[in-house]
Structure 1
Amino acid sequence: MYIQKKIKTVLVFFLLLASHFVQAAIYQSHHLQGNQLQLQTDEYSVVLSFKSEGSVEVVYQKAGLKQLPSFALAAPEQQLAATLSEQPQQLEFASKDLKVRIDKAPFRLSYYRGNELVLAEEQGFFAHETLRGFRFALQDDEKLLGTGQRVVGMDRRGQRLPLYNKASYGYTTEAQQMYFGLPAVLSSKKYLVLFDNSASGFVDLGKTEKDVLQFEAAAGRTSYIVMAAATYPKLIEQYVTVTGKQPLPPRWAFGNFASRFGYRTEAETRAIVDKFASEDFPLDAVVLDLYWFGPDIQGHMGNLAWDKKAFPNPKGMISDFKAKGVNTILITEPFVLSTSKRWDEAVQANALAQDLAGKAKTFDFYFGNTGLVDVFSTQGTAWFEGIYNELADYGVAGWWGDLGEPEVHPSDTIHSIGTADEIHNAYGHRWAELLYQNRLAQQPTQRPMIMMRSGFAGSQRFGMIPWTGDVSRSWDGLKPQVELSLQMGLLGMAYTHSDLGGFAGGEVFDKEMYIRWLQYGVFQPVYRPHAQEQIAPEPVLHDKETKDILREYVKLRYRMLPYNYTLAYQNSSTGMPLMRPLFFENEADTSLIANKDSYLWGDAFLVTPVTAAGVKSVSVKLPQGAWFDYWTGKVYQGGQTIQQPTDLTTLPVLVRAGSFVPMVPVVQSLKDYSSRQLELHYYHDQSVTTARGQMYEDDGVSPDALQSRQYELLSFSAMANHNNLTLELNRTGLGYAGMPKQREVTLVVHQWGKPAKVLVGSQSLKWVNSESELVAGAAWFDEAKQQVRVKLNWEQVKLKVALQ
């Protein structure tokens, strides 16, 4: 009897809950002010405002329901026009590229791109006790991506995923919850919906109900933004227009990093920097993990000051490194242990989050008994900024924010704007914001370099460079890295990269796995081997074969700097990720969405990392067009799946026919970077009659280079017909300090037979018999590689080269 009564009570509760959810609101009135439409229903108010030509923010407000500020939205780039029309049963609110239909009874919103329905509320908004969120109808054939770092496959439909940033130590081929969740979903129907809510919650992508997309949270802002566009790149551009564009990193961030957990002394750190030079490995950064402020792992977090026993002369060390072109990056964490030297200082400054009694909240975690900096409060911000100012005086060039989920965040922790569960997912985001703004204010002529492992939608606008956390040092740790970076890049976090070689565990050195991971790293946004120290993460500390193979890959990374830096420019301008999924190539073929084995590095390169031992070839699904094996020059026709050969010395890389790839000579550090000597490769195929490329150059330092047009944008084009190929080089932009006035260009045309003559303008060049004889004003034909090489001096004028 008791059990039956209990079941009956539970059923009544859920029936009441269901009746609350299905109760439909009724429109009452509206008011249009500029591009903002205010609506009133019998249950709540709704405000719609266009944030770009193809995006609209929707904010629901129910009486008595606490709201938090937006974390996702950037300051609008422009004021947008909107139109409103009314019919008896509907309103229509529209911008140039997006239309919102508002049904009055029952109240419901639907979104159209032209006349095509892309997304519609199902129940729409709901709020009950400590549960609030939104429900949308899903179409049968749509696939869903997004939600940030997860290892669940590219198409995430059918998943119910937590929205609570959480460490995932030693993960491999499956992980539903990781360091950097994002409350945003991108559909194969070319819409993106972003839930601007920082609270703990879930996103259900058709798991509980196959035709419903549901976002739910324990608290937070009841708002979402819908974006729509005709193509995936244009959809991403809408997203970064709304949430903010990634500022350009300093140029040195594209170089090689020395990093481990961790360098324990100044002597050890100096020795590793010297080792890179003596082994002929370029190097641009050295990363100091937590030993810079304490002799061991536990008990010192929060000191945030040099351990002078281990590092007796940090300013001199950093200065010496800088003279060699090596930048110093320091780890910092937001936890201040009660045993640390700064505990009393932090408490007196009121810099820490509080407990329910209004005192500094303390709790235990792996590193000791701790408090947490309240990055949302003015006191916490000011205290933290003071520490960064102190450290910057030593010459520190880059900042590594770790454990910023936060790794441990008790629910009864009180921040200045809300509880832990209300703002948890925005903690790393706000930390990056205060650091980014502080560095720009204190060092206005330098681009901040900020690495963090956790954040929120829009964190890219604070220059955040994320990584994929404490991955297992194993083949299974390598396998999901393409998926993780591609998914993050779709939502603005285009610099997501991995600890090359793997981080966690591993007692025996797996040489093949290590080499394969570091080869793949050349075509990642950041080149940073990093691991626990029982096996050296630095390639310079391994055997001769490993060093000889990887030295050439690190040098390739440096040769490719003009190409890679141009990808950074494209990302900062349009949001286009550096690593791009294959489904961008054929948007009508939704089967490509599942491909997580290969990816495009920019437009030119198709990369397929080797993720298993003993592999002799990899399966590559080729987009349309012709593709060159980067190492052998062999040409494959697109639209088919090939088996691309590989051995331990060759990462499977293909180059698209019609690509321009600019390269420069290798330097020991990007401090000495120059494009005065430029090698410009053009990959010709008879199927390509016209082609275009570009190369972006600036001083590598100035934060406002793009806004002030203090840059040079080189443009390249090719036109082929019959036996003639004409290549044109041009430039735009105002230029920058240190810009070459003239470049010595070696133009390399792949897969073109020896022409009868080569013209630069109207001048015919002389032929030479070997590469060693090649000088400006001459041409050489490499018969073995079927390459025409032309050397010329290029000043700042349009230049035409004709092969006839």
Structure 2
Amino acid sequence: MITNTELEYKGNLYPNHIVEFTQDTDKLYFTTENGVVLQITILRGSLVRFRYATNYNFEPDFSYAIDPDSTMGYSKLDVVENNSEYIISTARLSILVDKKTLRTQISDIEGNIINEDELGFHWEENYEYGGNTVKMSKISQIGESFFGMGDKAMHSNLKGKKVENWVTDQFAFAKEQDPLYKAIPFYIGLNKGKAYGIFFDNSFKTSFDFSQERRNITSFWADGGELNYYFIFGPDMSRVVSSYSNLTGTPELPPMWALGFHQSKWSYYPESNVKEVASEFRNRKIPCDAIYLDIDYMDGFRCFTWDKNHFPDPKRMIQELEQDGFKTVIMIDPGIKVDRDYWVYNEALENDYFCKRGDGPLMHGKVWPGECNFPDFTNPAVREWWAELYKEFMSELGVHAVWNDMNEPAVMEVPTKTAPLDTRHNYDGYPCTHRKAHNVYGMQMVRATYEGVKKYVYPKRPFVITRAAFAGTQRYASTWTGDNVATWEHLWIANVQMQRMCLSGYSFVGSDIGGFAEQPDGELFVRWIQLGIFHPFCRVHSSGDHGDQEPWSFGVEITDIVRKFIELRYQLLPYLYTMFYKYTKENRPMIQSLVYYDQEDTQTHFRTDEFIFGEKILVCPIQEPNAQGRRMYIPKGEWYDFWTHESVIGGKEKWVAAGLDKLPIFIKAGAIIPKYPIQQYVGEKKIEELLLEVYYKMGVEASEVYEDANNGYDYKKGRYALSNYKLTGKENSLTIQLFKDGSFETEYETIKLNLHGLPFQIESVMVDNEEIELESLILSGGNILRIDKNFTSLHLSGKE
């Protein structure tokens, strides 16, 4: 290991030699002669926490990011001391702690170095604010790549980049612009086929340098707080992402309508405009589940109020929209208008719920209503009060969901775009300034919103959306990537942001389809819709300044193509719902970058365009105008072209034709893809039959279909249906076995199987070991069968 004899260099201070070691069960303490304490906590065999204190003093151990329900426990922990180091062994890792410098080195049990300190922990005293700027530098391996970090508007591989985490209202942000709306200080390192993750749990402004300033050095630092990070070992990227997702949490299942198509604009008002848009969707037979009301529904932009001129009877309007299959989603911002005649303002003032400046006065800032004060959402009492404010909207008026915007918090007419740094916060009993609370302010606002909405839409499930987020916010809300622009470049950015967010534990995410600022032409709108239907959150949203952006705004040809792809989204809802189930239960990202899918293939380390939707559908958006197709990379395995059903072997580039009405889509061989009939909204039709698209494979492939009542909490009492399909293909036969779990009874009684790529003509069919007459099962075309949903084994045989 590198040695360091200097205790101070360029203003930085360093630990010196270890003088004491103690152990308290899973916690190991290493104390240096100059007062640095390293606490190493073994959480699991592959998950280790590192905390550093200076002056012998740890800060209170509190985190908004960590899920209190995360899984902990290990099977092995040994510590051995020799002349130069301590060696900590778990079932998966070996950690060396250098006695002279406190530097660490982490290896797998085969002895491969996975992660190694360079300068290691060092710090610089902050004379302006107090405390320390805390720093860590690591040795980057040659060829190492880096991924994650949330919604950065840059290439998915962060090698050579420097990024910052400070949630910022970045209207019309550009490619490479940083920081943006979210702070997720988590990255994945990948080298020589082995992946690891580092989560820097610090809510101050944090920075990461991935070998930009110094070629083979990766470093991260924070403006205050502790050097407190979690090391997660793979070696598969999937295990890293799963462990991080378990550590910071995943959401509960949303109502299925939240996965439908949503339409939004700044703003739909008055009521007649809302009704007109809703009517157009139904008249044109374009599926849609939700209409959004932006800030103009309010009385003078006062939260929790209605403009009675534009919306004279919101309860009636919401009921009428619901009768036509539309859920109503309303926006709530954090800024509360300074107005002595405004009940929300008065309640907050009387209860001392607003944020204050360093010397005591209330923190003021201009937002849409004008002069505003801002609730301190890091105060539990404020969150409880805020949650109760939703009672009238949800319980009495029937609002279905809430959208929190401007919660960075965004403040107008100031250079910083946000609250002053001396603004004080409760921070759940650990008082601090805005320097520490800024990155979690929006998270705690949407947490309070989530708790209120959940309470008052019960027994149905909540659906909440946020713009600002910190690591762990995914437990409370879906999100979108903020105020983008109607350009082809932003279509590329949106694609990369979705993949990066999913790798960063935050899968329920989408972009403003078509762009928020400026106006797309019909071609760009179509291409964005084609991408957006394969994002977990699917919503068109625009500023409205430059014209309309509804599906029918660009002429008949465009409308027909948009309808076709939105209908595909609705057909794939059971597949998407199953993806969400696996995200919540198994911590699997809903979108997989190719590097996640096959980290062994170095070609995937630099692919930004292609992604896997769920685990079985490969998608590659068209991101240039006038394109009739594109070259794309097909990853390992066998894939079927969605449109032509031709099979292709992966591991190579391929030209794929894709006129304006097509998108390159491929289905993994062996996949069983569930489909529902096209509906205009979730729940419009009784599902009388489940269609399974079955893609032949020589070999074995597993697929799952998860179903429940699509809303409510009965699924938590076992009332769900999880169908596990095992497909086994041989030269002259195909077998599908079905294993069921759960007590939910689906509406449909039969399953229709559409078989693709069979290398033989079906001659005999056996269902549950009983031969069945072909005529009774096989429908038109010869490769479509209908069978009872409760079969356990289907065996098809024939000859080539």
Fold-level similarity (TM above 0.5): yes
Q: CA deviation at 1:444?
A: 4.9
**Which stretch shows the higher mean deviation, 340-349 or 712-721?**
340-349
Indicate the SS of the match to 1:792. strand
Q: Which residue of 2 aligns with 1:278?
A: 283
Q: CA deviation at 1:657?
A: 1.5
Indicate the SS of the match to 2:149. strand
Q: CA deviation at 1:96?
A: 2.7
Indicate the SS of the match to 1:480. helix
Q: Which of 453, 468, 475 is the aligned partner of 1:439?
A: 453
User: Paired residues, what number?
Assistant: 763
2:98 equivalent to 1:85: no
In structure 2, distance between residues paired with 1:38 and 1:392: 50
Deviations 1:248-274 (A, max 9, x none): 222111111121111112222122222
1:743 maps to amino acid: E
In structure 2, distance between residues paired with 1:99 and 1:248: 38
Asked if the contact 2:390/2:456 (under 8 Å) is kept, the reply is no
Q: Which residue of 1 aligns with 2:732?
A: 723
2:538 equivalent to 1:544: no
Residue identity over aligned pairs, in percent, reads 23
Asked if the contact 1:60/1:223 (under 8 Å) is kept, the reply is yes
2:41 equivalent to 1:41: no
Q: Which residue of 2 aligns with 1:10?
A: none
Q: Which of 559, 563, 567 is the aligned partner of 1:555?
A: 567
Equivalent positions of 1:337-348 (< 5 A) are: 337-338=337-338, 341=342, 342-348=344-350
Q: CA deviation at 1:789?
A: 0.5
2:674 equivalent to 1:682: no
Q: Which of 108, 111, 116 is the aligned partner of 1:120?
A: 116
Asked if the contact 2:163/2:209 (under 8 Å) is kept, the reply is yes
Q: 1:52 and 1:312, CA in 2 relative to 1: closer, same or farther beyond 3 A?
A: farther
Q: Which residue of 2 aligns with 1:771?
A: none
Q: Which residue of 1 aligns with 2:93?
A: 98
In structure 2, distance between residues paired with 1:378 and 1:410: 22
Q: CA deviation at 1:574?
A: 2.2
Equivalent positions of 1:25-174 (< 5 A) are: 25-42=16-33, 43-63=35-55, 69-75=62-68, 76-88=70-82, 89-114=84-109, 115-130=111-126, 131-174=133-176
In structure 2, distance between residues paired with 1:745 and 1:437: 39
In structure 2, distance between residues paired with 1:351 and 1:26: 47
Q: Which residue of 1 aligns with 2:129?
A: none
Q: CA deviation at 1:202?
A: 1.5
In structure 2, distance between residues paired with 1:652 and 1:522: 13
Deviations 1:110-156 (A, max 9, x none): 22222222112222222222222322222122111122211221111
Q: Which residue of 2 aligns with 1:228?
A: 233
CA-atom RMSD in angstroms: 2.3
**Which stretch shows the higher mean deviation, 590-599 or 379-388?**
379-388
Q: Which of 262, 270, 275 is the aligned partner of 1:265?
A: 270
Equivalent positions of 1:604-643 (< 5 A) are: 604-643=616-655
Q: Which of 504, 507, 527 is the aligned partner of 2:538?
A: 527
2:790 equivalent to 1:803: no
* TM-score between both structures, scaled by the size of structure 1: 0.90
Q: CA deviation at 1:502?
A: 1.0
Q: CA deviation at 1:559?
A: 0.8
Q: 1:671 and 1:458, CA in 2 relative to 1: closer, same or farther beyond 3 A?
A: same
Q: Which residue of 2 aligns with 1:492?
A: 505
In structure 1, distance between residues paired with 2:588 and 2:148: 15
Indicate the SS of the match to 1:74. coil
Q: Which residue of 1 aligns with 2:404?
A: 401
Indicate the SS of the match to 2:584. helix
1:424 maps to amino acid: H
Indicate the SS of the match to 1:352. coil
Indicate the SS of the match to 1:583. helix
Uncovered stretches (5+) of structure 1, i.e. residues with no partner: 1-14, 295-299, 769-776
Deviations 1:189-246 (A, max 9, x none): 3111111101123212222222222222221233111101121111111111211123
Deviations 1:73-103 (A, max 9, x none): 1124344444132223332334332332222
Q: CA deviation at 1:22?
A: 5.8
**Which stretch shows the higher mean deviation, 539-548 or 637-646?**
539-548
Q: CA deviation at 1:582?
A: 1.0
Q: Which residue of 2 aligns with 1:788?
A: 783
Q: CA deviation at 1:16?
A: 9.3
Q: Which residue of 2 aligns with 1:12?
A: none
Deviations 1:689-708 (A, max 9, x none): 22221101122223573x54
Q: Which residue of 1 aligns with 2:330?
A: 330
Asked if the contact 2:7/2:13 (under 8 Å) is kept, the reply is no
Indicate the SS of the match to 2:373. strand
Indicate the SS of the match to 2:752. strand
Q: Which residue of 1 aligns with 2:388?
A: 386
In structure 2, distance between residues paired with 1:102 and 1:232: 26
Deviations 1:419-449 (A, max 9, x none): 1111211112222222223334445533221
Equivalent positions of 1:178-217 (< 5 A) are: 178-189=180-191, 190-217=195-222
2:659 maps to amino acid: D
* TM-score between both structures, scaled by the size of structure 2: 0.91
Asked if the contact 1:52/1:241 (under 8 Å) is kept, the reply is no
Asked if the contact 1:664/1:674 (under 8 Å) is kept, the reply is no
Q: Which residue of 2 aligns with 1:9?
A: none
Indicate the SS of the match to 1:631. coil
Indicate the SS of the match to 1:238. helix
In structure 2, distance between residues paired with 1:166 and 1:123: 31
Q: Which residue of 2 aligns with 1:669?
A: 681
In structure 1, distance between residues paired with 2:749 and 2:795: 15
Asked if the contact 1:149/1:178 (under 8 Å) is kept, the reply is yes
Deviations 1:617-646 (A, max 9, x none): 111111122222211222222222111001
In structure 1, distance between residues paired with 2:250 and 2:141: 31
In structure 2, distance between residues paired with 1:742 and 1:149: 40
1:57 maps to amino acid: R
Q: 1:779 and 1:610, CA in 2 relative to 1: closer, same or farther beyond 3 A?
A: same
In structure 1, distance between residues paired with 2:29 and 2:276: 64
Equivalent positions of 1:576-595 (< 5 A) are: 576-595=588-607
Q: CA deviation at 1:742?
A: 5.4
Asked if the contact 2:522/2:554 (under 8 Å) is kept, the reply is no
Uncovered stretches (5+) of structure 2, i.e. residues with no partner: 1-5, 127-132, 411-417
Asked if the contact 1:460/1:493 (under 8 Å) is kept, the reply is yes
Q: 1:170 and 1:444, CA in 2 relative to 1: closer, same or farther beyond 3 A?
A: same
2:492 equivalent to 1:479: yes
In structure 1, distance between residues paired with 2:285 and 2:534: 21
Indicate the SS of the match to 2:239. helix
Deviations 1:379-429 (A, max 9, x none): 432332232223222212211111122222222222223111112111122
Indicate the SS of the match to 1:91. strand
In structure 2, distance between residues paired with 1:411 and 1:180: 18
Q: Which residue of 2 aligns with 1:778?
A: 777
Deviations 1:438-464 (A, max 9, x none): 3344455332211111211121122x2
2:213 maps to amino acid: T
Q: CA deviation at 1:541?
A: 4.3
Indicate the SS of the match to 2:453. helix
Q: Which residue of 2 aligns with 1:513?
A: 524
Q: CA deviation at 1:762?
A: 4.6
Indicate the SS of the match to 1:757. strand
